[in-house]
Amino acid sequence: MAVEIERAVDLGGFQLAMNFDPVVVRVENVTQGDFLGSTGRNTAPLGPEIDNEMGTMRFGAFSFGDQLGPDGDGVLTAITLTARGTGNSPLAVEDVQVVDTRGQAHTVLTEDGEVIVGVPRRLYLPLVRGE
């Protein structure tokens, strides 16, 4: 799954936390997306910090260089999840911070996600008996 940003202006860095149901899913890996460095700035990740027992993950990245940061929409990070059980798990994004290349914080609105791990279904067919 991807965490995306929309309408960024001179993006210089970000950090976020995500809560999930550890009974339903686990976080296997978190990697930085291409958007932060898309204008040629150097980038460095912060984390990830993953606690699959508590159902928490933290990740961030910052950039440095002479170029402006990217504007517009793009992928900040990719998160690889693995199913542990069946059911629904909210993917609650919290503590989001976004800064421009001057270190000025930007106001953000977040939208949580959800993952649904399939529930096996039983199929009942008609029974025909011969006598």
Considering only the top CATH level, what class is 2-117? mainly beta
- Distance, in Å, from the CA atom of 22 to the CA atom of 75, rounded to the nearest integer, reads 24
| Residue 116 and residue 81 in contact, taking contact as beta carbons nearer than 8 Å | no
| Residue 15 and residue 58 in contact, taking contact as beta carbons nearer than 8 Å | yes
Q: Please give the chain's pLDDT, 131 residues, in tens.
A: 899 999 999 999 999 999 999 999 999 999 999 999 999 999 999 999 999 999 999 999 999 999 999 999 999 999 999 999 888 899 999 999 999 999 999 999 998 998 888 866 555 555 555 54
| Residue 55 and residue 49 in contact, taking contact as beta carbons nearer than 8 Å | no
Residue 14's alpha-carbon distances to 62, 76, 113, in angstroms, are 6, 8, 18
Predicted local distance difference test score (pLDDT) of residue 27 = 97
Predicted local distance difference test score (pLDDT) of residue 121 = 57
Q: What is the pTM of this model?
A: 0.85
| Residue 82 and residue 60 in contact, taking contact as beta carbons nearer than 8 Å | no
Q: What are phi and psi of 25, to 5 degrees?
A: -140, 165
Give the residue extent of every domain in the chain. 2-117
Strand partners, 57: 18, 50
